Amino acid sequence: MAKHVTIDGNGAVSHVAYAFSDVAAIYPITPSSTMAEYVDEWSAKGRKNLFGQTVHVAEMQSEAGAAGAVHGSLAAGALTSTFTASQGLLLMIPNMYKIAGELLPSVFHVSARSLAAHALSIFGDHADVMACRQTGFALLASGSVQEAQDMALVAHLATLKASIPFLHFFDGFRTSHEIQKIEEIEYEEMAKLVDWDAVKAFRDRALNPEHPHQAGTAQNPDVYFQNREAPNKYYLAVPGIVEKVMEQVGELTGRHYSLFNYEGPEDAEDVIILMGSGTEAVEETITALNKREGTKYGVLKVHLFRPFSAEHFLKALPASVKHVAVLDRTKEPGSLGEPLYQDVCTVLREQGREDIMVVGGRYGLGSKEFTPTMIKAVFDNLHAKEPKNHFTVGINDDLTHTSLELGARLNAAPEGTVSCKFYGLGSDGTVGANKNSIKIIGDHTDLYAQGYFAYDSKKSGGLTVSHLRFGKKPIKSTYQIDFADFIACHNPAYVTAYDMVDSLKEGGVFLLNSPWTAEEMDSRLPAHMKQQLARKKARFYNIDAIKLAAEVKMGTRINTIMQAAFFKLAQVIPYEDADRYMKEYAKKTYGRKGDAVVKKNWDAIDIAISGLKEIPVPERWANATEGAEAPKVEATEYFDKVVRPILGQEGDKLPVSAFSPDGTVPTGTTKYEKRGIAVNVPEWQIDNCIQCNQCSLVCPHAVIRPYLIKEGTEKPETFATKKALGKEFAGYEFRIQVSPLDCTGCGNCAEVCPSKEKALVMKPLDGQVAAQEANAEFAAKLPEFKGEVNKNTIKGSQFLKPLFEFSGACAGCGETPYVKLVTQLFGDRMIIANATGCSSIYGGSSPTVPYTTNDEGHGPAWANSLFEDNAEFGFGMNLAYNQRRAKMAEVVEKLIAVEYATAEIKEAGKAWLESGNNADASKAASAKLVAACEEGIVEGCTCDACTLAREVLAGKDVLIKKSIWIF
Ligand code: SF4
Ligand code: SF4
């Protein structure tokens, strides 16, 4: 009897990789990191591999280092694996050539991910893997968590027999992080399939002074070419070896794989060919369409992509096929077609099968959704009057018109599948609780279970959407839920922010966590939500989880309460069982923290059910036109047209033309977000304040700021001020202003406030929004204080405008107060060469930018290169500005040497040359030089002085000394 486990793709693959590795050389990169972490953890715990030894794990300084270590370890006779993705994989390429060239058996497991081009994306596509086509590695693809485990085994077994290294890949996030119930293969079973002679032969080939040989020589033109052809027969043997190994694995597991797996009717005429997780969605869709509509659609799933076996391909493709759509999850700009398409075209042409119509298209880049609706559009295109070739599907390319039109939304999930969606707040425990629910259901029932978790770009406090499916059949829906039986909203602020019930099925359940009564719902819910609830005849429940959590002393942790409510309402398993399992898991998870913590969780489970209230949905809601609305913020056109839809989870609908071709975006956009995510925000107690400005210094989000306003300035009545302390502020009034909707509620400010009687008291958000939002808006429009402040003091520095505000950093972040301070001091002349990490996520994650500008429009310019090279990137920026400013100095020198140049130009030019490398002095000198040049130029005159002055003005943006911050 097979052992079932509920596990993610990375876990399933690591299980196999560990078995076959003597050594693992690693370097973490999302989304592959957890594979290395699993292996590292098991090694630390002394788990044994197939050779009865604990795997030796070595974490290197980069992926290039990891690949080098793999190479060396293989050369010395240890079976060695690594795990990587994206740029990390690209860094391994030089060593991959070496490993393949030396016929060293190894497996690199890759959770395939996009490559950074116009922007970085940590999400999945095949761009990284496709960049390795030429290395000599065999490329083996998996489409699901189960397949990822099985193909990992195929790869490890085959590489031993073939002496060709394997790159085993599966889709980043979609497969690597998807949780599925799978059948696990035990190590004893795997061991039976190992070619032990091949293991011995590999070890015997190791570099060893007892029987020395030399590898990696330098060859001349006379022999390099021939030697490059010498291993051909190894590649020719790979398809046969993989086929054989797949048969063995099939005998062992009952799951039968081929190099190309065909699914669909034997007499299919229309076939989609693809690899990776999309194969599952296509199989699910053709099953539904063939059954419901009598179509004869098929899918050819590619497993062994390199070496590409034309023979196996043709054998797998039904002879009846007339139309083929080849889908690639990558883009190769300027090519005649993407890689798989080109291969299929080549095979069909070489085999004289020009009778088959072939079109190719791109889908799913950067984990773009790939749904049954899109798959249907691909089949429809095959029968269009003029089928599109080189198309895109899933986007609206309104520039080059490559996209396929989509039809009505298609539900292809097998009957009986229960789909549940949860909208949570990052770090509120929702995702953890859902992972736990999946395990409970997966481990205790014979239901198949699938979990997928989508996050927005905020470090925490952002949106998380959990997608859970349960069913009697294996779940092949490798896309987010678009037909939900159950939807839970864990944060009341989301009701106006997201269209959550759009995907709710007729008669489905909507669960809301809010403090609102049934009567209040009318005014608290937006019109479109009320309409959908009524039209879909939804069963609507509310629970005040925050209140209940407080009652059982869980603070603001609502996850356990919401989990219990889910089990009660979704009825995937009888509630009595769920209650028992949840309590068992709570004991397992929190047992180490003591009985009191376990009890709190048990109390939370018990109290949840009593707090559930069914809310009647009046029929009149079906035509509701009034209700709550999201806070209206006056913003830029760019924000309204591009950012707002992305924030509202509608980014998929943006057309290609909405984006700049080079991926650049305007700064200063977080100020329009107004997330309103805090539970409590600080209220200023004017009488207690000693005007130290420490609150402003420690605020990670630039939410609380001191303002100086001229006495007599007209201001709102509620904008209370007090006389500013300090003679340099004579004639000014002082006020601390909080922007409640930007606050994360971390409490740092209130905690640091040194006033004897606290001058900051944390109060519920709602009241503070009502009392302070208008004041915050007024304060934000006040002119910057232009008087002298001692910016070398805490107090003085905080009167300078932060040019980094309202970032997506975690509440209470200890890093961003410094970032903010640096921008206050130097931001107006700063360029940031960003080092990938937290600072890229809170500083440069689409769609908003926290770096902003001062009243003159000056502020940090920011760019990220690669994880590995930000120092060099910043060094390059410095070279550029030194060179450009040196050129400017030459121009200014020439200008002031012109005899008849004006006295002002000469004086200003000289001053700039003398002070140009002094940051503050260069600002004043630059302003004077610009003014003198503008003044001195005579319209239409082409004399030397006017020409050179124009040259100065044309390059005036380099006059002020720049500060390059490598961070
Ligand atoms: Fe800033 Fe945190 Fe205070 Fe809010 S609670 S103003 S985010 S320090
Ligand atoms: Fe006033 Fe307290 Fe802020 Fe100091 S830390 S400025 S005392 S509110």
Q: State the pLDDT at residue 275.
A: 98
pLDDT grade for 460, boundaries at 50, 70 and 90: low
- For the record, the structure tokens of 760 come out as 């900051």
The rounded distance, in Å, linking the Cα atoms of 99 and 105 is: 8
The rounded distance, in Å, linking the Cα atoms of 289 and 283 is: 10
Q: SS3 breakdown of the chain: % helix, strand, coil, rounded to 5?
A: 45, 20, 40
Ligand 1 atom nearest the C-alpha of 746 is: 2
Q: Give the chain's mean pLDDT.
A: 96
Ligand 2 atom nearest the C-alpha of 682 is: 8
Tens digit of each residue's pLDDT (9 = 90 or more) over 771-787: 999 999 999 999 999 88
Q: State the pLDDT at residue 863.
A: 97
Tens digit of each residue's pLDDT (9 = 90 or more) over 286-313: 999 999 999 999 999 999 999 999 999 9
Would you say the CB of residue 298 lies under 6 angstroms from ligand 1? no
Q: Which of 684, 691, 692 to mutate to test the pocket of ligand 2 (most atoms within 8 A of CB)?
A: 692
Would you say the CB of residue 676 lies under 6 angstroms from ligand 1? no
CA 828 to ligand 1 centroid distance, Å: 24
Would you say the CB of residue 259 lies under 6 angstroms from ligand 2? no
Ligand 2 atom nearest the C-alpha of 692 is: 4
User: Per-residue pLDDT for 1 more than 60?
Assistant: no
CA 500 to ligand 1 centroid distance, Å: 29
Amino acid (1-letter code) at residue 657: S
Q: State the pLDDT at residue 588.
A: 87
The rounded distance, in Å, linking the Cα atoms of 352 and 389 is: 20
Q: How many C-beta atoms lie closer than 10 Å to residue 217's C-beta?
A: 7
Would you say the CB of residue 744 lies under 6 angstroms from ligand 1? yes
Tens digit of each residue's pLDDT (9 = 90 or more) over 126-172: 999 999 999 999 999 999 999 999 999 999 999 999 999 999 999 99
CA 738 to ligand 1 centroid distance, Å: 8
CA 811 to ligand 1 centroid distance, Å: 8
Average pLDDT over residues 509-532: 97
Residue with structure tokens 């069909």? Answer: 348
CA 821 to ligand 2 centroid distance, Å: 17
Would you say the CB of residue 748 lies under 6 angstroms from ligand 1? yes
SS3 815: coil
User: Per-residue pLDDT for 521 more than 60?
Assistant: yes
Instruction: Report CA 579 to chain centroid distance, whole Å.
Output: 34
Let me know the angle formed at the C-alpha of 154 by 148 and 157, rounded to the nearest 5 degrees: 140
Residue with structure tokens 């806070």? Answer: 631
Would you say the CB of residue 703 lies under 6 angstroms from ligand 1? yes
Q: Where are the alpha helices (DSSP H) in 402-493?
A: 430-444
- In this structure, what is the dihedral angle of CA atoms 235, 330, 99, 219, given to the nearest 10 degrees? 80
CA 688 to ligand 2 centroid distance, Å: 8
Would you say the CB of residue 750 lies under 6 angstroms from ligand 2? no
**Which of these, 161, 337, 184, lies nearest to 237 by C-alpha position?**
161
Q: State the pLDDT at residue 631.
A: 79
Beta-strand (E) ranges in 70-165?
Answer: 80-84, 107-112, 138-141
Which element (helix H / strand E) includes 733?
strand 732-738
Annotate 706-716 with b (16+ C-beta within 10 A) or e (fewer).
bbbbeeeeebe
Let me know the angle formed at the C-alpha of 72 by 66 and 75, rounded to the nearest 5 degrees: 140
The rounded distance, in Å, linking the Cα atoms of 298 and 203 is: 44
pLDDT grade for 426, boundaries at 50, 70 and 90: confident
Q: State the pLDDT at residue 766.
A: 87
CA 694 to ligand 2 centroid distance, Å: 6
Average pLDDT over residues 553-559: 87
CA 762 to ligand 2 centroid distance, Å: 13
Tens digit of each residue's pLDDT (9 = 90 or more) over 578-623: 999 999 988 988 888 999 999 999 999 999 999 999 999 999 999 9
- Relative to beta strand 861-864, strand 830-834 is parallel
Q: State the pLDDT at residue 579.
A: 95
CA 751 to ligand 1 centroid distance, Å: 10
User: Per-residue pLDDT for 816 more than 80?
Assistant: yes
CA 697 to ligand 1 centroid distance, Å: 10
Residue with structure tokens 């295109």? Answer: 381
Which element (helix H / strand E) includes 393?
strand 391-393
Minimum CA distance residue for ligand 2 atom 2 = 753
Question: Angle 430-444/575-590 helices, nearest 10 degrees?
Answer: 120
Minimum CA distance residue for ligand 1 atom 3 = 749
**Taking the chain, what is the end-to-end CA distance rounded to the nearest angstrom?**
54
Would you say the CB of residue 682 lies under 6 angstroms from ligand 1? yes
Q: Where are the alpha helices (DSSP H) in 497-616?
A: 521-524, 527-535, 545-551, 559-570, 575-590, 595-611
Q: How many C-beta atoms lie closer than 10 Å to residue 434's C-beta?
A: 27
The rounded distance, in Å, linking the Cα atoms of 509 and 641 is: 32
Q: Which of 460, 693, 696, 738 to mutate to test the pocket of ligand 1 (most atoms within 8 A of CB)?
A: 738
Amino acid (1-letter code) at residue 787: G
Would you say the CB of residue 704 lies under 6 angstroms from ligand 1? yes
Average pLDDT over residues 523-539: 98
pLDDT grade for 759, boundaries at 50, 70 and 90: very high
Q: State the pLDDT at residue 459.
A: 64
User: Per-residue pLDDT for 239 more than 90?
Assistant: yes
Instruction: Evaluate the CA torsion angle 877, 878, 880, 881 in order and state its sign.
Output: positive
Tens digit of each residue's pLDDT (9 = 90 or more) over 912-933: 999 989 998 999 999 999 999 9
Minimum CA distance residue for ligand 1 atom 8 = 699
pLDDT cut 70: percent of the chain above it: 99
User: Per-residue pLDDT for 324 more than 60?
Assistant: yes
Q: State the pLDDT at residue 366.
A: 97
Q: Residue 760 to residues 683, 763, 901: CA-CA distances in angstroms?
A: 5, 9, 59
Q: Which ligand is nearest to the CA of 741?
A: 1
Let me know the angle formed at the C-alpha of 404 by 399 and 406, rounded to the nearest 5 degrees: 120
Average pLDDT over residues 391-405: 98
Instruction: Report CA 936 to chain centroid distance, whole Å.
Output: 53
CA 792 to ligand 2 centroid distance, Å: 18
CA 645 to ligand 2 centroid distance, Å: 38
pLDDT grade for 868, boundaries at 50, 70 and 90: confident
